[in-house]
Amino acid sequence: MIRLLHIDSSARPGRSGEQAHGSHTRRLTARFVRQWQARRPHDPVVHRDLALSPPAPVTGEWVHAAFTAPAQREPWMRSALAESDALVDELSAADVIVIGVPMYNFGMPATLKAWIDNVVRVGRTFGFDRSRTGEPYWPLLAGQGKRLVLLGSRGDHGYSPGGRLAESNHVEAGVLTPMRYIGIDLADSIAIEYDEFADQRLHASIAAAEAEVDALVQRLTDQVSARREPA
């Protein structure tokens, strides 16, 4: 059994192709999960909509509580970390994390940044020991085979590596860097471009992204099946 964590972060509530002004990333994440469940109907899926339920931003109280040893935490500290605990538990339980991440002003939505700040947490997803020889930090989710799938959308075009606007793209690196820091190294990324042009190039980009999503689901589910075949 493979557990999926499906995260949407677009401020747009609907899906493009179904609702006027709907979200391209919601369209892609829904397609990924639908295709996965068609091939593996018994795999559980947890859906978290960061636009409907935005995580609280990290505060000074949160930091104080997070860096206090669990046995020494006061009730207010446990309360300050309750949402973070729930988000970390979801992430820790997941094998495949599918995130819809539109580009807002060259970066990720603030709700997704708040989610990252809540799950990149000392003692839960990374370790820290200032007395440790060498590197004082280490990932706690490493070696678990977790895979991250980023499904994005961009108003302009040319944001992929080598493209005309690649240096202005702070989306994928902004998500991948902290996820790798906690030990999630396997990652795939697909994005729709040309949204602001709303012409045939957008339609072609949507079709290409959907085809990539379908191929990715087939590849990943085939890998899962291969790993579980008896010798």
Binding site feature residues for FMN: 10, 103-106
The residues near 230 (Cβ < 8 Å, ≥ 6 apart) are: none
Residues making up the annotated binding site are 10, 103-106
C-alpha angle 168-216-8 in degrees, rounded to nearest 5: 60
The answer to whether the beta carbons of residues 149 and 187 sit under 8 Å apart is yes
Residue 126's φ and ψ, nearest 5 degrees, are -145, 150
Strand partners, 15: 23
Distance CA 203, CA 181 (A): 36
- Name the H helices within 67-189: 75-80, 82-93, 110-119, 172-181
Half-sphere exposure of 198 (CA within 13 A, CB side): 6
The answer to whether the beta carbons of residues 128 and 168 sit under 8 Å apart is no
